[in-house]
Amino acid sequence: MSVRVRRVYDPPEAEDGTRVLVDRLWPRGLAKDAARVDEWPKAVTPSTELRRWYHAGEGSYEQFAERYEAELDADEAAEVLDHVRELVREGDVTLLTASKTPERSHASVLARLLEG
């Protein structure tokens, strides 16, 4: 089983497996049927406050990742994270994000936690 991170705007691929949108907000300009999203677990997305803090350039990616991981320890997020882990145990999962740099986003932090 593998975990991939891709932009939600990229066309779906056969090897995507279960497609999980990991952004709190629906991506701009993207029709829901075109995205082919299987799951949208908003509880595992960064809080609005953390997202704004990071996008304002107030901290490093490493600080963001640390704060995001702490948010994922909260009860609701941890429960939903367990569900996503179960999806990974069942087969391939692609985490989808609208971020222009997915490798420096919450999606890559989440992928690392799911693979570990």
Q: What is the pTM of this model?
A: 0.93
pLDDT score recorded for residue 105: 94
pLDDT score recorded for residue 88: 96
pLDDT score recorded for residue 116: 75
Strands in 18-21's sheet, in edge-to-edge order, are 3-7, 93-97, 18-21
Distance (Å, whole) CA 51 – CA 44: 13
pLDDT score recorded for residue 28: 94
- Residues 11-44 pLDDT 10s: 999 999 999 999 999 999 999 888 999 999 999 9
Distance (Å, whole) CA 47 – CA 59: 15
Q: What is the mean pLDDT of residues 78-87?
A: 95
Q: What is the mean pLDDT of residues 53-60?
A: 90
Write out the H or E segment, with its range, that includes residue 96: strand 93-97
Tokens of 76: 């609701």
